[in-house]
Protein backbone atom coordinates (compact mmCIF):
# COMPACT_ATOMS: atom_id res chain seq x y z
CA UNK A 1 0.00 0.00 0.00
CA UNK A 2 1.33 3.44 -0.85
CA UNK A 3 1.63 5.91 2.03
CA UNK A 4 -1.35 8.26 2.42
CA UNK A 5 -0.43 11.77 1.32
CA UNK A 6 -2.75 14.77 1.08
CA UNK A 7 -2.26 18.51 1.31
CA UNK A 8 -5.69 18.88 2.93
CA UNK A 9 -5.29 18.81 6.71
CA UNK A 10 -9.03 18.68 7.36
CA UNK A 11 -9.39 15.68 5.09
CA UNK A 12 -6.59 13.91 6.94
CA UNK A 13 -8.33 14.56 10.26
CA UNK A 14 -11.58 13.19 8.91
CA UNK A 15 -10.15 9.88 7.78
CA UNK A 16 -7.47 9.13 10.36
CA UNK A 17 -9.61 6.57 12.10
CA UNK A 18 -9.99 4.41 8.99
CA UNK A 19 -6.35 4.29 7.90
CA UNK A 20 -4.42 1.10 8.67
CA UNK A 21 -1.50 1.39 11.08
CA UNK A 22 0.87 0.19 8.33
CA UNK A 23 0.28 3.40 6.39
CA UNK A 24 1.83 5.48 9.14
CA UNK A 25 4.63 2.97 9.62
CA UNK A 26 5.72 3.34 6.00
CA UNK A 27 4.94 6.99 5.21
CA UNK A 28 8.19 8.35 6.64
CA UNK A 29 10.50 5.66 5.30
CA UNK A 30 12.94 6.79 2.63
CA UNK A 31 13.34 5.65 -0.94
CA UNK A 32 16.05 2.98 -1.34
CA UNK A 33 18.09 2.83 -4.57
CA UNK A 34 20.12 -0.38 -5.03
CA UNK A 35 22.93 -0.51 -7.61
CA UNK A 36 24.84 -3.71 -8.50
CA UNK A 37 28.46 -3.97 -9.57
CA UNK A 38 29.98 -4.86 -12.91
CA UNK A 39 28.81 -8.10 -14.59
CA UNK A 40 25.72 -8.32 -12.32
CA UNK A 41 22.03 -7.66 -12.79
CA UNK A 42 19.82 -6.16 -10.13
CA UNK A 43 18.44 -9.61 -9.23
CA UNK A 44 21.38 -10.00 -6.82
CA UNK A 45 19.40 -7.68 -4.53
CA UNK A 46 16.22 -9.79 -4.57
CA UNK A 47 16.60 -11.06 -0.99
CA UNK A 48 17.51 -7.60 0.24
CA UNK A 49 14.41 -6.18 -1.45
CA UNK A 50 12.24 -8.84 0.22
CA UNK A 51 13.76 -8.05 3.61
CA UNK A 52 13.19 -4.33 3.16
CA UNK A 53 9.58 -4.90 2.14
CA UNK A 54 9.04 -7.00 5.27
CA UNK A 55 10.38 -4.00 7.19
CA UNK A 56 7.67 -1.89 5.48
CA UNK A 57 9.85 -0.01 3.01
CA UNK A 58 7.71 0.41 -0.08
CA UNK A 59 9.82 2.63 -2.35
CA UNK A 60 12.70 0.40 -3.47
CA UNK A 61 14.45 0.73 -6.83
CA UNK A 62 16.93 -2.00 -7.88
CA UNK A 63 18.80 -0.64 -10.90
CA UNK A 64 19.99 -2.60 -13.95
CA UNK A 65 23.06 -0.75 -15.20
CA UNK A 66 23.16 -0.35 -19.01
CA UNK A 67 26.91 -1.10 -19.00
CA UNK A 68 26.25 -4.70 -17.97
CA UNK A 69 25.53 -6.72 -21.09
CA UNK A 70 25.61 -3.76 -23.49
CA UNK A 71 28.29 -1.94 -25.46
CA UNK A 72 28.02 1.72 -24.50
CA UNK A 73 30.28 4.67 -25.26
CA UNK A 74 30.75 6.09 -21.76
CA UNK A 75 29.40 5.94 -18.20
CA UNK A 76 26.57 8.41 -18.74
CA UNK A 77 23.84 5.78 -19.28
CA UNK A 78 24.74 4.19 -15.95
CA UNK A 79 24.71 7.56 -14.21
CA UNK A 80 21.33 8.44 -15.72
CA UNK A 81 19.86 5.10 -14.61
CA UNK A 82 20.58 6.09 -11.00
CA UNK A 83 20.09 9.84 -11.28
CA UNK A 84 16.52 9.67 -12.64
CA UNK A 85 14.89 7.84 -9.69
CA UNK A 86 17.06 9.86 -7.30
CA UNK A 87 15.90 13.15 -8.79
CA UNK A 88 12.24 12.08 -8.83
CA UNK A 89 12.35 11.02 -5.19
CA UNK A 90 14.05 14.19 -3.97
CA UNK A 91 11.71 16.41 -5.98
CA UNK A 92 8.74 14.60 -4.40
CA UNK A 93 10.11 15.37 -0.94
CA UNK A 94 11.25 11.82 -0.25
CA UNK A 95 14.49 11.08 1.57
CA UNK A 96 16.82 8.64 -0.19
CA UNK A 97 19.41 6.02 0.71
CA UNK A 98 21.71 4.90 -2.12
CA UNK A 99 23.43 1.52 -1.97
CA UNK A 100 26.18 0.54 -4.41
CA UNK A 101 28.13 -2.69 -4.67
CA UNK A 102 31.63 -2.62 -6.19
CA UNK A 103 31.54 -0.56 -9.44
CA UNK A 104 28.02 0.47 -8.48
CA UNK A 105 29.55 2.64 -5.74
CA UNK A 106 31.38 4.63 -8.41
CA UNK A 107 28.14 5.13 -10.33
CA UNK A 108 26.20 6.45 -7.34
CA UNK A 109 29.08 8.82 -6.62
CA UNK A 110 28.84 10.28 -10.11
CA UNK A 111 25.04 10.42 -9.89
CA UNK A 112 25.26 12.58 -6.76
CA UNK A 113 27.31 15.29 -8.48
CA UNK A 114 24.30 17.34 -9.54
CA UNK A 115 22.95 17.34 -5.98
CA UNK A 116 26.09 18.60 -4.26
CA UNK A 117 24.85 22.17 -3.87
CA UNK A 118 21.56 20.92 -2.43
CA UNK A 119 23.46 18.82 0.10
CA UNK A 120 25.36 21.86 1.34
CA UNK A 121 22.47 24.33 1.35
CA UNK A 122 20.06 21.86 2.95
CA UNK A 123 22.16 21.91 6.10
CA UNK A 124 21.42 25.62 6.32
CA UNK A 125 17.66 25.06 5.91
CA UNK A 126 17.58 27.24 2.83
CA UNK A 127 14.31 28.18 1.18
CA UNK A 128 15.49 26.50 -2.01
CA UNK A 129 15.72 23.07 -0.37
CA UNK A 130 12.77 23.13 2.01
CA UNK A 131 10.24 20.53 0.97
CA UNK A 132 12.82 18.53 -0.97
CA UNK A 133 14.01 15.14 0.15
CA UNK A 134 17.49 14.45 1.48
CA UNK A 135 20.07 11.85 0.59
CA UNK A 136 20.28 10.11 3.95
CA UNK A 137 23.04 7.73 3.02
CA UNK A 138 25.47 6.41 0.45
CA UNK A 139 26.37 2.80 1.27
CA UNK A 140 29.39 1.28 -0.46
CA UNK A 141 29.52 -2.49 -0.21
CA UNK A 142 32.33 -4.89 -0.18
CA UNK A 143 36.07 -4.38 -0.48
CA UNK A 144 38.30 -5.58 2.35
CA UNK A 145 39.96 -2.71 4.16
CA UNK A 146 41.31 -1.56 7.49
CA UNK A 147 40.59 -3.18 10.83
CA UNK A 148 38.23 -0.41 11.90
CA UNK A 149 34.85 -1.76 12.99
CA UNK A 150 31.75 0.35 13.52
CA UNK A 151 28.56 -1.59 14.13
CA UNK A 152 26.30 1.19 15.43
CA UNK A 153 25.32 3.80 12.90
CA UNK A 154 25.40 7.36 14.24
CA UNK A 155 23.63 10.03 12.20
CA UNK A 156 25.29 13.32 11.34
CA UNK A 157 28.73 12.09 12.37
CA UNK A 158 30.13 14.30 9.61
CA UNK A 159 29.38 17.95 10.49
CA UNK A 160 27.10 19.79 8.04
CA UNK A 161 26.52 16.72 5.89
CA UNK A 162 23.15 15.10 6.50
CA UNK A 163 23.16 13.02 3.35
CA UNK A 164 24.73 9.63 3.05
CA UNK A 165 25.66 6.83 0.66
CA UNK A 166 26.22 3.16 1.48
CA UNK A 167 29.06 1.53 -0.44
CA UNK A 168 29.10 -2.27 -0.30
CA UNK A 169 32.68 -3.24 -1.07
CA UNK A 170 32.87 -0.25 -3.30
CA UNK A 171 35.26 -0.08 -6.22
CA UNK A 172 35.64 3.68 -6.05
CA UNK A 173 37.78 6.41 -7.65
CA UNK A 174 40.52 8.27 -5.85
CA UNK A 175 40.21 11.95 -5.03
CA UNK A 176 43.23 12.69 -7.25
CA UNK A 177 41.52 11.14 -10.27
CA UNK A 178 38.81 13.78 -10.16
CA UNK A 179 41.02 16.70 -9.20
CA UNK A 180 43.73 15.68 -11.72
CA UNK A 181 42.14 13.47 -14.40
CA UNK A 182 45.47 13.15 -16.21
CA UNK A 183 46.74 11.00 -13.30
CA UNK A 184 44.04 8.33 -13.67
CA UNK A 185 45.41 4.94 -14.63
CA UNK A 186 43.87 2.85 -17.39
CA UNK A 187 41.60 0.13 -16.00
CA UNK A 188 43.64 -2.51 -17.79
CA UNK A 189 46.70 -1.66 -15.70
CA UNK A 190 45.01 -1.77 -12.28
CA UNK A 191 42.26 -4.37 -12.68
CA UNK A 192 42.56 -7.67 -10.79
CA UNK A 193 43.56 -10.77 -12.81
CA UNK A 194 39.91 -11.80 -12.73
CA UNK A 195 39.13 -9.23 -15.42
CA UNK A 196 39.62 -10.22 -19.05
CA UNK A 197 39.57 -7.40 -21.60
CA UNK A 198 38.12 -8.37 -24.97
CA UNK A 199 39.38 -6.04 -27.74
CA UNK A 200 39.07 -3.10 -25.35
CA UNK A 201 35.28 -3.01 -25.67
CA UNK A 202 34.07 -5.69 -23.27
CA UNK A 203 35.28 -6.89 -19.91
CA UNK A 204 34.64 -10.43 -18.66
CA UNK A 205 35.12 -11.99 -15.24
CA UNK A 206 36.89 -15.18 -16.32
CA UNK A 207 40.46 -13.96 -16.71
CA UNK A 208 42.09 -15.75 -13.75
CA UNK A 209 42.58 -19.52 -14.20
CA UNK A 210 43.32 -19.80 -10.48
CA UNK A 211 40.27 -17.90 -9.24
CA UNK A 212 36.92 -18.39 -10.92
CA UNK A 213 34.18 -15.81 -10.78
CA UNK A 214 32.20 -18.12 -8.50
CA UNK A 215 35.10 -18.15 -6.04
CA UNK A 216 35.89 -14.46 -6.38
CA UNK A 217 32.37 -13.12 -5.95
CA UNK A 218 30.44 -15.75 -3.98
CA UNK A 219 32.96 -17.73 -1.95
CA UNK A 220 30.66 -17.94 1.09
CA UNK A 221 27.76 -19.46 -0.83
CA UNK A 222 27.32 -23.23 -1.19
CA UNK A 223 28.93 -24.49 -4.43
CA UNK A 224 25.65 -25.07 -6.25
CA UNK A 225 24.51 -21.52 -5.45
CA UNK A 226 27.81 -19.88 -6.40
CA UNK A 227 27.78 -21.75 -9.72
CA UNK A 228 24.20 -20.67 -10.33
CA UNK A 229 25.02 -17.00 -9.82
CA UNK A 230 28.18 -17.28 -11.88
CA UNK A 231 26.05 -18.55 -14.75
CA UNK A 232 24.05 -15.30 -14.59
CA UNK A 233 27.09 -13.05 -15.10
CA UNK A 234 27.37 -10.98 -18.25
CA UNK A 235 30.10 -8.82 -19.75
CA UNK A 236 30.67 -5.21 -18.69
CA UNK A 237 31.34 -2.26 -20.96
CA UNK A 238 35.02 -1.28 -20.96
CA UNK A 239 34.14 2.32 -21.81
CA UNK A 240 31.95 2.65 -18.73
CA UNK A 241 34.39 0.90 -16.43
CA UNK A 242 37.38 2.91 -17.67
CA UNK A 243 35.67 6.33 -17.64
CA UNK A 244 37.07 9.03 -15.36
CA UNK A 245 34.85 9.79 -12.39
CA UNK A 246 33.25 13.23 -12.32
CA UNK A 247 32.66 13.60 -8.60
CA UNK A 248 33.84 12.29 -5.24
CA UNK A 249 31.03 12.13 -2.63
CA UNK A 250 33.17 11.05 0.32
CA UNK A 251 35.04 14.27 1.11
CA UNK A 252 32.34 15.78 3.32
CA UNK A 253 29.38 16.76 1.13
CA UNK A 254 27.68 13.43 1.81
CA UNK A 255 27.94 10.93 4.63
CA UNK A 256 29.48 7.79 3.15
CA UNK A 257 29.36 4.40 4.83
CA UNK A 258 31.71 1.75 3.45
CA UNK A 259 30.90 -1.89 4.24
CA UNK A 260 33.93 -4.16 4.09
CA UNK A 261 33.61 -7.84 3.21
CA UNK A 262 36.28 -9.46 5.37
CA UNK A 263 36.29 -12.56 3.18
CA UNK A 264 36.16 -10.68 -0.12
CA UNK A 265 38.49 -12.35 -2.64
CA UNK A 266 37.99 -9.83 -5.43
CA UNK A 267 40.01 -6.87 -4.15
CA UNK A 268 43.13 -7.16 -1.95
CA UNK A 269 42.98 -5.68 1.55
CA UNK A 270 45.89 -3.33 0.83
CA UNK A 271 44.06 -1.90 -2.18
CA UNK A 272 40.95 -1.05 -0.18
CA UNK A 273 43.05 0.54 2.54
CA UNK A 274 44.31 3.07 0.01
CA UNK A 275 40.77 4.47 -0.28
CA UNK A 276 40.57 5.25 3.42
CA UNK A 277 44.13 6.50 3.70
CA UNK A 278 43.67 9.38 1.27
CA UNK A 279 44.04 12.88 2.71
CA UNK A 280 40.57 14.39 2.82
CA UNK A 281 38.65 11.08 2.65
CA UNK A 282 35.85 10.89 5.19
CA UNK A 283 34.21 7.50 5.66
CA UNK A 284 32.42 5.46 8.21
CA UNK A 285 33.42 1.82 7.99
CA UNK A 286 31.67 -1.40 8.97
CA UNK A 287 33.50 -4.72 8.78
CA UNK A 288 31.22 -7.61 7.86
CA UNK A 289 32.14 -11.29 7.68
CA UNK A 290 31.07 -11.44 4.05
CA UNK A 291 32.30 -11.97 0.51
CA UNK A 292 32.21 -9.54 -2.39
CA UNK A 293 28.53 -9.84 -3.33
CA UNK A 294 27.31 -9.76 0.26
CA UNK A 295 23.72 -9.09 -0.81
CA UNK A 296 23.59 -12.82 -1.60
CA UNK A 297 25.68 -14.25 1.24
CA UNK A 298 24.55 -11.88 4.02
CA UNK A 299 21.20 -10.37 2.96
CA UNK A 300 19.85 -10.01 6.50
CA UNK A 301 22.94 -8.11 7.61
CA UNK A 302 22.78 -5.82 4.57
CA UNK A 303 19.09 -5.13 5.25
CA UNK A 304 19.90 -4.27 8.87
CA UNK A 305 22.63 -1.84 7.77
CA UNK A 306 20.27 -0.11 5.36
CA UNK A 307 17.61 0.10 8.08
CA UNK A 308 20.08 1.70 10.47
CA UNK A 309 21.08 4.28 7.90
CA UNK A 310 17.42 4.92 7.06
CA UNK A 311 16.69 5.60 10.72
CA UNK A 312 14.41 2.59 11.10
pLDDT at residue number 30: 93
Whether pLDDT at 191 is above 50: yes
Mean residue pLDDT of the chain comes to 81
Whether pLDDT at 187 is above 50: yes
Q: Which of 49, 144, 45, 140 minimizes the C-alpha distance to 102?
A: 140
Whether pLDDT at 145 is above 80: no
Contact call for residues 194 and 205 (beta carbons, < 8 A) = yes
pLDDT digits (tens, 9 = 90+) for 229-242: 999 999 999 999 99
pLDDT digits (tens, 9 = 90+) for 215-233: 999 999 999 999 999 999 9
Buried b (16+ CB within 10 A) or exposed e, 135-158: bbbbbbbbbbbbeeeeeebeeeeb
Q: pTM for the whole thing?
A: 0.82
201 by DSSP, 3-state: which?
coil
What does R_g of the chain's alpha carbons equal in angstroms?
19
Q: How far is CA 251 from the centre of its chain?
A: 16
pLDDT at residue number 111: 95
pLDDT at residue number 5: 45
Buried b (16+ CB within 10 A) or exposed e, 71-107: ebeebeebbebbbebbbebbeeebbbbbbbbbbbbbb
**DSSP collapsed to 3 states, 19-72:** CCHHHHHHHCCCEEEEECCCCCCHHHHHHHHHHHHHCCCCCEEECCCCCECCCC
Beta pairing class for 236-237 and 202-204:
antiparallel
pLDDT at residue number 131: 59
Contacts (Cβ under 8 Å, ≥6 apart) of 248 = 109, 173, 175, 178
pLDDT at residue number 192: 84
Whether pLDDT at 58 is above 60: yes
Cα torsion 241, 246, 250, 254: sign: negative
Domains of the chain, earliest start first? 34-309 (3.40.50.1820)
Name which of 59-73, 123-137, 250-264, 279-293 the model is least confident about. Answer: 123-137
- Which DSSP state fits 102? T
Whether pLDDT at 93 is above 80: yes
**Whole-angstrom Cα distance, residue 215 to residue 15?**
55
pLDDT at residue number 13: 32
pLDDT tier at 201 (50, 70, 90 boundaries)? very high
Name which of 79-88, 112-121, 167-176, 234-243 the model is least confident about. Answer: 112-121
pLDDT at residue number 134: 84
Amino acid sequence: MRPFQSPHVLLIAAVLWVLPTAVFATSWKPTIILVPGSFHRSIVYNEVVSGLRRAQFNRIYPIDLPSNGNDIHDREPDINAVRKPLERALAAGQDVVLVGNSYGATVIGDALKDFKSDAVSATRDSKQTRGRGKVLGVVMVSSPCSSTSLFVWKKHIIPNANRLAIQLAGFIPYISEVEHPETKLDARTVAPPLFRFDNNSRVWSDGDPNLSAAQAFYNLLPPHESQYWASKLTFASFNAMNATARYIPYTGDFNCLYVVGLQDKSIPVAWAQTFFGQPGARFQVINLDADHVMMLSKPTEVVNIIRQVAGS
